């Protein structure tokens, strides 16, 4: 039985795991020692407590990626998708017009401080180390539930490391929990290759343990593990394996593309297209919904604020991208507001308290993997493997769903074709900036035609990764080093 996301009260999770989010200056971010029963032998004695630990880790991951809207800053804002409102003066340098200067981030600490992710990592260490030692009889669902919870621990650890790597590169990889957090030796950063290898190890274990299909995509299953493996192999430019794991999801997962008439169900936790999503829905008993995450895209008349406090759609870019007038996605994901165009994927505004009419939450989930993403990732792999007909087929599956004009049998199908289709399909989902890194900046085919504002020198020094807040992090780990490009920029 899966309960770790919705049925354990948030108060219980947060109070029980406060050690992971409140970081005293005397402790190192790599190993945040539990101060309550989570670390006690008594705690690791039942399946119910493993569920609580996993709920805590999942909640910490959610908090880490939503803090200051990190997910959308690093995945979308730094591209051409959105225009910042005037209230976001401190985002100017991050934009393309600001040359993606990631070193100037006043009041946006989460983009340069990875501390919160190590709370997730250490909790996952505890889960995968302790769960195997608990007798099967202590789990309500017996051995099957034990396997599933252990698999989810491996999956979440891999997801967290990969998420960190795509932002900052070369995380400090720890492989176990710590006995004495006050006497931890300095640990150097791991290479991208080492980190990705560790993620692959975890995901292969997860895929063996997890069920074929979860009844709710907020819980990982084999398909979520395969989807993440496909993305990791694509990041490595190992497109043979990327295609392999895309095919696993496509052929075995049982997912279907959401019809265009109900397209927005994808972000309302009602779609058979979703593979894995982060729970942010509202319910009275256990409210994980937020106001200030999705509402960055909204303004009047959907919510009571001006476009100066939001990110409006960059219509110059969007209109060029959606040049096909037959494409129904444009009308489904964009809507006119007062003073601009809004992204309307996340418009589940819920005025939950009749006594406070100005208060609301955005009642949507954050989709991390879905079928359209994986089909287009396969198309990317097929382009690199010179399987152009197959790439065209996958793209046309997405375009046919959107009622857009399909690619003709003799039409060109290049990396640019796939990139543009991913931009249309995944607009505002935290994807495009990482697609740009994977498909263009680190693709030798683009070496002479790098997109602005990147130069060969910046790419060689991996200046597509974000700098670290060394003043905060270095005192905790003397072997920590700054990303190369940002040492002098």
Q: DSSP strand E in 135-282: where?
A: 274-278
Higher pLDDT, 181 or 241: 241
Token pair, residue 141, equals 């669902």
Q: Are residues 321 and 191 in the same domain?
A: no
pLDDT of residue 30: 60
Last residue of a domain, one of 310, 342, 364: 364
Residue-wise pLDDT tens digits, 131-183 = 999 999 999 999 999 999 999 999 999 999 999 999 999 999 999 987 676 67
Is there a domain that residue 228 lies in?
Answer: no
Last residue of a domain, one of 319, 347, 364: 364
Residue-wise pLDDT tens digits, 196-225 = 999 999 999 999 999 999 999 999 999 999
Last residue of a domain, one of 326, 348, 364: 364
pLDDT at 23 over 50: no
pTM of the model: 0.94
Residues, the chain, total?
A: 489
Is there a domain that residue 179 lies in?
Answer: yes
Is there a domain that residue 151 lies in?
Answer: yes
- The string over 129-167, giving b where at least 16 C-beta atoms fall within 10 Å of a residue's C-beta and e elsewhere, is ebbeebeeebbeeeeebbbbbbbbbbbbbbbbbbbbbbb
pLDDT of residue 42: 86
pLDDT at 372 over 50: yes
DSSP H stretches of helix in 132-191:
142-168
Residue range of the domain that includes 83 = 10-210+466-487
pLDDT at 400 over 70: yes
Is there a domain that residue 457 lies in?
Answer: no
Q: Are residues 128 and 14 in the same domain?
A: yes
Residue 131 · residue 50 · CB < 8 Å? yes
The whole-angstrom separation of Cα 266 and Cα 268 is: 6
Confidence grade of residue 7 (pLDDT, cut at 50, 70, 90):
very low
Is there a domain that residue 149 lies in?
Answer: yes
Is there a domain that residue 42 lies in?
Answer: yes
Q: Are residues 198 and 302 in the same domain?
A: no
pLDDT of residue 29: 57
Q: Are residues 304 and 168 in the same domain?
A: no
pLDDT at 31 over 80: no
Question: How many domains does the chain fold into?
Answer: 2
Taking the C-alpha atoms of 49, 51, 52 and 53 in order, what is their torsion angle to the nearest 10 degrees? 90
Is there a domain that residue 74 lies in?
Answer: yes
Q: Provide the 10 A C-beta neighbour count for residue 336.
A: 11
Q: Are residues 201 and 301 in the same domain?
A: no
Is there a domain that residue 224 lies in?
Answer: no
User: CATH no. for residue 89?
Assistant: 1.25.40.390
Average model confidence (pLDDT) across the chain: 92
Confidence grade of residue 26 (pLDDT, cut at 50, 70, 90):
very low
What share of the chain has pLDDT > 70, as a percent? 91
pLDDT at 352 over 50: yes
């Amino acid at each position: 039985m899966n309960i770790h996301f919705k049925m354990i009260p948030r108060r219980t999770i947060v109070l029980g795991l406060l050690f992971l989010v409140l970081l005293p200056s005397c402790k190192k971010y790599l190993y945040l020692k539990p101060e309550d029963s989570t670390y006690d032998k008594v705690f690791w004695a039942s399946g119910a407590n493993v569920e609580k630990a996993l709920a805590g880790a999942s909640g910490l991951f959610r908090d880490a990626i939503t803090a200051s809207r990190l997910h959308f800053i690093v995945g979308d804002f730094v591209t051409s998708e959105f225009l910042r409102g005037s209230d976001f003066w401190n985002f100017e340098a991050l934009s393309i017009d600001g040359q993606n200067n990631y070193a100037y981030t006043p009041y946006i600490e989460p983009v340069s401080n990875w501390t919160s992710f190590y709370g997730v990592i250490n909790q996952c260490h505890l889960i995968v180390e302790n769960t195997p030692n608990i007798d099967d009889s202590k789990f309500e669902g017996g051995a099957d539930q034990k396997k599933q919870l252990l698999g989810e621990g491996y999956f979440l650890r891999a997801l967290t490391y990969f998420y960190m790597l795509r932002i900052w590169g070369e995380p400090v990889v720890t492989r176990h929990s710590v006995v004495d957090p006050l006497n931890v030796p300095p640990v150097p950063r791991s290479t991208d290759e080492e980190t990705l290898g560790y993620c692959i190890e975890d995901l292969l274990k997860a895929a063996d343990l997890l069920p074929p299909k979860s009844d709710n995509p907020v819980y990982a299953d084999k398909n979520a593990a395969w989807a993440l493996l496909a993305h990791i192999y694509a990041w490595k430019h190992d497109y043979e394996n990327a295609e392999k794991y895309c095919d696993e999801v496509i052929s075995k997962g049982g997912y279907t593309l959401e019809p265009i008439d109900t397209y927005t169900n994808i972000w309302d936790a009602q779609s058979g297209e979703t593979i894995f999503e982060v729970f942010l829905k509202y319910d009275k008993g256990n409210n994980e919904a937020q106001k200030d995450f999705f509402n960055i895209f909204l303004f009047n008349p959907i919510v009571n604020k001006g476009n100066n406090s939001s990110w409006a759609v960059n219509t110059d870019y969007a209109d060029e991208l959606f040049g096909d007038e037959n494409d129904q996605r444009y009308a489904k994901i964009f809507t006119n507001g007062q003073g601009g165009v809004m992204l309307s994927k996340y418009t589940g505004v819920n005025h939950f308290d009749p006594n406070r009419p100005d208060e609301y939450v955005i009642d949507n989930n954050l989709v991390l993997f879905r079928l359209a993403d994986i089909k287009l990732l396969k198309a990317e792999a097929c382009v690199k493997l010179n399987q152009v007909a197959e790439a065209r087929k996958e793209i046309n599956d997405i375009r046919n769903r959107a009622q857009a004009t399909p690619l003709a049998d003799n039409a060109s199908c290049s990396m640019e074709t796939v990139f543009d289709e991913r931009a249309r399909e995944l607009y505002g989902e935290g994807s495009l900036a990482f697609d740009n890194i994977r498909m263009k900046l680190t693709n030798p085919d683009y070496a002479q035609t790098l997109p602005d504002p990147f130069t060969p020198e910046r790419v060689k020094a991996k200046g597509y990764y974000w700098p670290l807040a060394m003043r905060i992090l270095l005192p905790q780990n003397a072997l920590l080093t700054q990303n190369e490009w940002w040492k002098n920029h």
